[in-house]
Every structure is written in C-alpha cells, then in structure tokens.
Structure 1
Amino acid sequence: MKLSPAYRLAATILHGFDEYRARFKQITFDASRRFREAAWRDAQQASAARINLYGEKVEDTLGRLQRTFPQDVLAHCETWGEARHHYAELISQRLDYELAETFFNSLFCSIFQHRHIRNEWMFVYSSRDDAAHRSGIELCRRCPVNGDWPNALRWALQEAPFDNPFADLERDIELGTALLEAQLPAAILQAEDAQVELLKSVFYRNKGAYLVGRILGGGEQVPLVLPILHGEGFGEKQGGDPCLHLDTVLTETDEVSIIFSFTRAYFQVDVPVPGEFVDYLKQLMPHKPEGELYAAIGFFKHGKTEFFRALNQQVAKREDKFIIAPGVRGMVMAVFVLPSFRTVFKIIKDKFDPAKDVTHAVVREKYRLVKRHDRVGRMADTQEFSNFTVRKDHFEPECLAHLLEVAPSIVSLKDDKVIIKHCYTERMMTPLNIYLEQCSEAERETVLKDYGNAIKQMAAANIFPGDMLLKNFGVTRHGRVIFYDYDEVCYITECRFRHMPKGQGIDASSLSIGPNDIFPEEFGPFMFANKTLRDMFMDQHPELFDPDYWLEVQKAIRDGRVIDVYPYRNKQRFAGTVGQLVY
C-alpha cells in the first residue's frame, strides 16, 4: 500500500527525533565517565554540545523534508494536520512522547516561520493525558530507616552507581547523620515508618554529582539532596581514580530549588520517563514551574513548550494585562511583564541610546553565548520566541504604545492582534536598584555582599558582565543576586584589565580606552551613585577594584583551571577546598 505524503512527513520527522534522542542519550550517558575521570573540560564541552544538538537535528530534519517533499506539500497546513494525526499515533506508546511532540512543533514552526499556531496542525496542546498513561517503571530506590540513620545514609552512598571509592565513608556518614538529626522534623526522626527514597539516576553537573530524593515518615516528607564531590585535598586516589566525599546534606525545599535554579547549567541525568521524572521533582519543589524542571534536566525546548502552554492559560484568565516593566528603562531592550505570571518579556529596540555601540545581531549572539555557557547560578536562563502573537486587549495602552514606538520593526498590529517578531523571556526578579531602595539595613548589607559574589562567580566561569550597573541585576525570592542584561557580556579572557595610569585622570563614565580595556579602579563611581552603598560594597569586596585580581582570574582560566562554584553556602559544606568559590 502506498503511504500518503502526510504519513511519510510524520515518519520523517520522527526519524529525525530518534536521531536527536539517540545522540542526547549518548552524551548524557557519558557523564558518569567524565565524573569518574575528573574530565571537567570535557564536561563543559559536552554540556554545550548537548544544548546545540537540538537545533542541529532540527536543521538536519528540515533539510531532509525539503529534499524529500515538494514545496506545495510542505506549505499546506492541512497536510500537516493529517501528519499530526499520524504522528500522534506513532508516538502514542513512547515514554518520551511529549518531547517528540515538541520536535514536531519545531519543524512546523521552521516551515511556517512560527505562524499558523493552531492545535489542529501542531501540538499546541498535548495529544495525551498523562494521568491515563503510567509506565510502571520504578524510578526510585528505597531504604527503611528503622531508627538507624547512619545505616540509611550508608545505604544511600554505597548503593549509588559510582565507580570511584569514597575517601572516608565512615567520616561522611558521621557528618551526614549529625546534619540530618539537626535538620529533620521530630515527626520524621521519631517515625517508625521513616524511609529514605532516592531517584536511581545520578544528576551530574560541573564537578558535582547529586543524589536526589526525599525522606518520608510520620505523614511528612522533606526533600533530600546529597552532593558528591571528588575528595580533593583530603582523599588519595585509589586504583588510579579520584576518591569521593559527601559535601553536605540538603533537606530544605528552598535549598533544593536553588540546586535546580533557572540560573544554572542543565543537569546531565538519565531520565527513563521524562513526564514521570518531572512529576517526581515537582513533589520536591512544588513552586517550581514544570517548564523549568524540564529545562533543568536538559529538555529546555520542551520546557519552552510547557512555558508557552502555561502562559496561554494565564492570559486566558484575564487577571491582568501586559505592562511596562517597573524600573529604569533599558537602552537596548524594551521590557514588559504580565505581573501575575512572574515573567519578563524583552525585545530589542530598533535604535539604541548613543552610549551603546552594538547591533541587533551582536545582542542576539550575546544571548546565545549565555544560553550555551555555564551560568553558575548567576545568570538567568532565557527562552527565545518568534512571531509571538497576543490579542491587543491583553496590553495596557501605554505599554503597547511604547513597544510600537521603540521597536516598530519588531512589534506590529494586525487586526486585533499584536505580533512580536522576536522576543526573549526570563523569570521576573526585583531589579537590584529597586530592591536597595526598599530593603532594610541588614538586607542591604547581605544583598551587596551577594552582588559582589555574583560578579566573582561569573568571572570564575569566564564571564565579564560588561555593564555592571545595579539595574542590570535582579534579586530572586531567595535573595540571590542574578545578572540578566547580556548586551555587553563577554569572556573574561577577551578583556584587558589595566591599572590607572599614574598622574592621569579618566572620565568616570567610561571604564575603558580601547574597546577591551577595563580599569577596575574606576568601578566604584560607575556602579554606585550613592556613596554610602559604594563604601559598603568596597569594604566587602575590595579585590574587585584591583586589576591584579582580575588578571589572576584570567590566568587561572587560561591555564585550564575549572574554578568551582557550588550551589550552596560554604558554611553548609563538610570540607572546603582552597581556591574554590562557593555560593
């Protein structure tokens, strides 16, 4: 029987998706080897390669479609509607069906330039009800405590699938048990039914491996994360492989949420059933959007799909309208928000303020750089949308008028629709300059210290923010300072840090002479107009104003050193290592 063009279209897309998934799994599977061998540079390259992989496979599949099918077939929406039906049948028994739907959507949007977004032609909504389809695959391993917390922790570590030995397992168990007994609620500590439950898959990122799960008992539960590191500084190698140690024990929901933050690189973790895996993580972090959880485990494109669906649902409620974002308006970006959705939408203006010597293409490349780079918990992840369409009456008139004025090539009206040709989305935060105006004295001191730590940790990851004004940083609900304005971001290794010429002055509004020349001694007046804040910050972080500090960071990066930045506070660690930067 001759197959219809629509069926062949569906089968070709699914073939491309299978190629993507096979390579994705291969890169992810190799994370355990990279951790075992301490191949940190390989890990960084693998992370970037996996992010790039999706776009590469979409392009490959698009080329295959264009070579296989006549243009009139590909440009016919009804053919895609029929292909959608066949595709839904082909993936109906797959464990990763939702990822396959997103891949189909990517091809549809590539053909139609993100127009004709309708559920009858693509998967605006999923083809399946998750509640009606459970795989039966057991994701977790479990151990009853029976009043013996040291033994439960020993089980958690010994039964984990690590090839490296622990440097001092008994020491780790002793320290971990003491922390558990200090942190856990009495109801769980004393419960006869207490048990430790951990996902079988290990979460790898940077130099860390994380065991993730929860502790249950007495009708209560708390999340549980056990960060495992190489035992540098106090554990010798055994059999040629570095030894391991337990670095801390995390049991607070907020702590776990920070581990899975939208400001961090995506985990490399084996995910047998993506939907059920995310459902489990959602139980540990109930306030974390599903889209962010999908992104955290590497499926950032499906995270975008989940974000889009959630946004549509929120807009349909008509609780509020899009407004201009509070704070100082940007020189490069126009920013608007839907307050109830906790997201900012950023579009590139047609014309930039004279102080900004960049182009549209340069700005977009800066955002791509950050997407591919390790964000070390200090740079917000973004999603990129094309031909974003919203009804006109969902905008406050002032907001819409502003967007049409500053970006007429990007924002246009068609009947009752607002069409935004290109935009970025980021999680909403309180701009640091606004936060400092509203916070208490104690909060001011804490957030300024974290502001400096953010700059240092980005530097450790070879990122210089360029424009370090307070308005370009935000404060999360956890009180963490995050950088989110990328139009001047660059690699530390591209900068030329210089001492101020003796006996010469320099305009405080300009920090460089050549395009890459930077004078850290002049950072103070540029960053802080308020002298009280400036003095407080300079007392906390004097090294940031010393060119030699930046030159030392440059040298470490050029020497191939991967500087550690861990997602929990130094005081929580069982053992610190000299030279590490730790949140």
Structure 2
Amino acid sequence: MADHNHTRRVAYQILTHFDQSYRWFSRITGGAKERFEKGLWQETLTASKQRITIYEQSLSEAVAAVYRQLSIHRSDNRFWASLKQAYAALIEGHPQFELAETFFNSVIGRLFKHQKIDNRFMFVLSDRCFLSGQDRNNVLNAFDTATTVGEMYESVFRIYRFNIPFEDYQRDLNHLDMALRRRLNQDQLASVHTAELLKPVFYRGKAAYLIGRICMPDETLPFVIALQTNLQNQLFVDALLTDRKDLSIIFGFARSYFMADTQYPGEVVAFLQELLPNKKYFELYIALGHYKHGKTVFYRNYLQHLEYSDDEFEAAPGVRGLVMMVFHLPSYGVVFKVIRDEFAESKKITREHVKDCYRLVKMSDRVGRMADTHEYVNFRIPLNRISEDLFKELQRSCASSLETDGDELIIRHLYIERKLTPLNLYLQQETDPQKIRHALNELGLCIKQIAMANIFPGDMLHKNFGITRNGRVIFYDYDEICLMKERNFRALPVSDDPFAMDTLSVAPNDVFPQQFEHFIVGNRKMKAILKELHGELMTPEYWQQVQTLTASGDIPNFTPYNPAMRFPRPLSEKIILGKSDRLGTETQ
C-alpha cells in the first residue's frame, strides 16, 4: 500500500506541474484578445516568445520536484510501469489528457536522458484515442441559417464581440453577404442547414480569425472571417475565406503559432482536421502552439509510417550542406538534419552557434517564409532501413551524434523539417518561363519579408531555399542568420588601385549587398530577372532602410491569404496602412 501511495503521489505531482503549465499557457493565450483590440503588436511578439518558453520552464520545475523521490527507483522497472498506470488513471477524463501524456513523457525522458523510450514506462503510443467527439459542443457555436444571410452574420457578431467599434459595420456585413452569395449558388444557399464556428478566436500577428464551416447535405465548406484593426483601433472584416487552399495557407508550416484559447485542444484539432484533411494532426497541434505534443504525435505517425512502408533512408536531393547532413525517407514528407562534426573552412561558426540560430527562428515571427523545425534527441531509426551509402556518409560526417543499439541507429541530436523541393533543383528542371519568373519573384519576396521580420538570412544562395507545391518560396538554412541590427550594410568601396581591396578595412559584420547578385543565383538569365524584379536587394540603401524600420519597432502586417480575397476599403486607409511593396511587406 505504501508503494502504491508513493507512486500515486509522484504521478499527482507530475500532473500538478502540467496543470500549472497549461494555466500559464492559457493566461498568455487568453490575453491575445486585448492585445489585438489595443494594437499592442510588440507585446504580441513578446507573448509569443514567452509562451514558447513555458514548456521547458515547467518541465524543469517538475523534474526538480520529483527527482529526489525517484532516485531510489531508478533501476526498478516495476515502479516505472506502475507510475505510468497511476498517471493514466489520474488523467482519465482530463480535458487535455493527450497533452498531459506528453508532459509525463518529457519528465521521464529528462530523468533518463531519453534512454527509456519504452511504451511500458511512457506514452510512446497513447492509451486511448482522443478523437471521440464527446466534447465537440464545448468548442463549437452553431448558427441558425433559416434566416437571411445578413441576419446570420449579425448573430455571429453578437456572439463574437470585441471591445472596440467597427470601422463600418454595415459595409462589412454587406461585404460578407455578397462574398457568400458569390461563392454559393441559390440552390446551395437554400440547402445550407448549419453554420458552425469554433468558439476560440484565432489570433496571430495583426489579424484575428473566426474559423468554422458551412454545412450542406452533400458537402461542407470552410467558413473563415478574417478580421483586422486600423490605426484608430477600429475593427474591420478583411475577407471571407471559403477555399480550403486559403485555409491551408493560414495554417502553413512556415507561419507562427496561433493564440486560440481553449480547454479542449483535442476537439479543436479534430474539427480543424475535418476542415483540412490534408493536414496531419501533429501539424495542427503545432499550429496551436502545442509544439511539444505535436512532436509526440509526429513520432507516433513516424512509427506507423515505418510499419507500413519499406523504402530506405537516403541522402536528400540537392547540394550537400557544409554544416548539416540532410537525409530523408522518400515516401515520407520530412527531412532529417544532423549537424556535422566538422564544418568547411568557409564556415567560421560553432555547433552551439548553429543551435542558437535554430532557436532564434523558433522564437521569431516566421511570416510564412521560414520553415518551422523540431528538435529531437536520441531519435531511433531501424538500421535495416538505412541505405548503405547514407550510413557511411553519416559515419564520416556525424559520428559524434551517432550510436547503435541492437538493430537501431540512435541519433543523439537532429532537426526535422517539412520536405520541400530545393529551389536550385526546381530552377534547373523547370522549362516554363512564367514559372521560372514566378519562382524568382518569390525568392526576392522571401528575402525581403524575412528581413522585414528582423532576420538577415545570411547565406542567400538559392540552394538554401525550397519551393512548395503551390509555388511559395521558403527559406530553410539557418546557420548564418542573425538579427538585422547585427550587420553593417555598406557600399562596395571603389578604387583605381587594383590591390586596394587587400588593404581596405572590412569588419566581420560588414555586408556588401552589391555582391549579392553574384551568388544568389548563378544563371545569367535568371540573375537578370531577379535584378529586374528585386534589384533593390543589391543596394546597401535598401538594407539600411529595412534596418531603420525594424529598429523602430514597426511591426509589418503579413496577410497569408490571396490579396484578391480582401474586401475593398477607402483608398485613404490603404495609403495610411500600406507599406511600400518594394520593402517586401504584403500588399495592404
């Protein structure tokens, strides 16, 4: 009985720390409404960073609290199995039980330095399915569609109220009415039987989203109302989105996490997955800021994929990186990145510097242009699934990160990232001039928008960018990034003396943008197109102007959906709110 009580006490202690962590997470998330209403954009960035750090802080406190109590049981497998059982009993019926499972895994992982990854002692596989639907009513509002479209919208805004006035309420209702009538024909409109919206409002950047669906007998459509505020802190409806592609882009892997306050994250994710069947559950958890649980769900998905596939891991397509060894499983949609033991002479950086760069991206607004990465330790891969060439290359370049355990390779530290087509390969293979021009325009916009988000990309060779199926260019090589203020953008010195460059004073943080044209893309015709579209990237004045803007604390607005979907507003407002497109912000 004493052992049982002790086991239950330790399990309760771990759960208490999880509950405290989630309350902390919810307090920051719940503050998003006020920050949106008051236009507190710097506070919004700070809150996003704070929320990311909560998990590690809570985990450290939990491990410290239970460590001494557990030390006498470290080699007692029966204790660890009974601890898991006691914890599973405690979280039965818990509204965030799946997140609580992940927190328990993290505690056990930290105590054993991730050497005890075993379903007897951890929730490697969840004890139960969370997609029950039993809590669906706790996350959804349903609206009567038997009335007129306008009356339905009015009932929506009676429920979703903001403590600021509308810029022009009647205009926005008319826009929403016309947009839905353009999307649905008369028969479809007549057949709509329910409009459902998730109760939490989704906040990110300078926007808020009401997310739901229109239900008809034979189909459902996404139903997303995008909201923003003007400089006078007045609310306006920016767009109505009813296309899954637009919704998918909003939940893209290169965008920052939403603030959406709910006590039932599993139900919210299940509903979102019904709207976005091509998104995996782990992607949606991550989009809500539950990135640790997203990693857990990804690992379960990974194990399942291994079971139902037979291809081998191999080096990823593209030019070999000087800092990272990148490999993939051809049938799976991610790449695995391991830091090399030694870097090329041209890379004057350390292993810890590389990790710091990846942390910086994690904490930054990725503005739809930087791929999210997920860090794993002691990641296991079956040896019989690794190609011989890849295994040899890993041993040559990453030996310090490897160990074998029976029939598995353990990689002590790696990053996982969404798989993209490397831009250099895409441009080599593409023959359509319009698609090439579009990709080069996207490359320039990508560089500009990252800079406006206060990140200097550093190594801008086009091999360090990827392109999505929808033709969006994403940056994914972070080992040379830094904040904009950390570089000195200079004009290239001019001298009649051919040997003058040998004696000119060049500081380590000096950057000469006029040299960019020589290495972003090598092909002469493509170089000319990039200069035509984004020639200002090759001038120090452009970068100095962006530095001034980022130093001022000005937060640009990056609208993720198609600008053609935006409702018209007075020209004067557009001029006031707009930024120069040459700087790379989204069109206002």
TM-score range for the pair, normalised by the shorter chain length: over 0.9
SS of equivalent to 1:423? strand
Partner of 2:9: 8
8 Å Cα contact 1:187-1:218 kept in structure 2 = no
Q: Deviations over 1:259-289 (max 9, x none)?
A: 0111111111112311111010001110001
Give the one of 413, 420, 424 matched to 1:433: 424
Partner of 2:221: 222
Determine what percentage of the aligned residue pairs are the same residue: 38
**For residues 57-456 of structure 1, what are the structure 2 equivalents within 5 Å?**
57-66=58-67, 68-69=68-69, 71-74=71-74, 76-130=76-130, 134-135=134-135, 137-146=137-146, 148-184=148-184, 188-189=188-189, 191-232=190-231, 237=232, 242-439=233-430, 440-456=432-448
Q: Which residue identity does 1:284 align to in structure 2?
A: L
> Structure 2: how far apart are the matches of 1:507 and 1:97?
67
SS of equivalent to 2:256? coil
8 Å Cα contact 1:568-1:582 kept in structure 2 = no
The answer to whether structure 1 residue 469 and structure 2 residue 468 are counterparts is: no
> Structure 1: how far apart are the matches of 2:303 and 2:374?
15
8 Å Cα contact 1:333-1:348 kept in structure 2 = yes
RMSD: 2.0
TM-fit CA distance, 1:186: 6.3
The answer to whether structure 1 residue 539 and structure 2 residue 505 are counterparts is: no
TM-fit CA distance, 1:176: 2.6
8 Å Cα contact 2:194-2:216 kept in structure 1 = yes
TM-fit CA distance, 1:412: 2.7
Q: Which residue identity does 2:559 align to in structure 1?
A: Y
Partner of 2:37: 36
Give structure 1 stretches of 5+ with no counterpart: none
8 Å Cα contact 1:146-1:192 kept in structure 2 = no
TM-fit CA distance, 1:514: 2.1
TM-fit CA distance, 1:156: 3.0
8 Å Cα contact 1:388-1:420 kept in structure 2 = yes
TM-fit CA distance, 1:63: 1.0
SS of equivalent to 1:225? strand
Aligned pair count reads 570
Give the one of 480, 491, 511 matched to 2:483: 491
Partner of 1:582: 586
Give the one of 506, 526, 529 matched to 1:513: 506
Q: Which residue identity does 2:527 align to in structure 1?
A: R
Give structure 2 stretches of 5+ with no counterpart: none
| Inter-CA distance 569–318: structure 2 relative to 1 (3 Å threshold) | closer
| Inter-CA distance 167–136: structure 2 relative to 1 (3 Å threshold) | closer
SS of equivalent to 1:197? strand
The answer to whether structure 1 residue 548 and structure 2 residue 547 are counterparts is: no
| Inter-CA distance 154–451: structure 2 relative to 1 (3 Å threshold) | farther
8 Å Cα contact 1:404-1:412 kept in structure 2 = no
| Inter-CA distance 345–310: structure 2 relative to 1 (3 Å threshold) | same
Q: Which residue identity does 1:291 align to in structure 2?
A: F
> Structure 2: how far apart are the matches of 1:446 and 1:317?
37
8 Å Cα contact 2:138-2:264 kept in structure 1 = no
8 Å Cα contact 1:387-1:419 kept in structure 2 = yes
TM-fit CA distance, 1:337: 0.4
Partner of 1:23: 24
Q: Which residue identity does 2:222 align to in structure 1?
A: P
> Structure 2: how far apart are the matches of 1:450 and 1:582?
12
> Structure 2: how far apart are the matches of 1:185 and 1:47?
41
Is the deviation greater in 572-581 or in 18-27? Answer: 572-581
Q: Which residue identity does 1:144 align to in structure 2?
A: D
- Displaced runs of 4 or more, over 6 A: 504-508
> Structure 1: how far apart are the matches of 2:341 and 2:187?
59
> Structure 1: how far apart are the matches of 2:444 and 2:153?
36
Q: Deviations over 1:534-570 (max 9, x none)?
A: 1101111122112111111111111121111121233
Q: Which residue identity does 1:8 align to in structure 2?
A: R
TM-score, with length taken from structure 2: 0.93
Q: Deviations over 1:449-478 (max 9, x none)?
A: 111111111111101110011111111122
Q: Which residue identity does 1:522 align to in structure 2?
A: Q
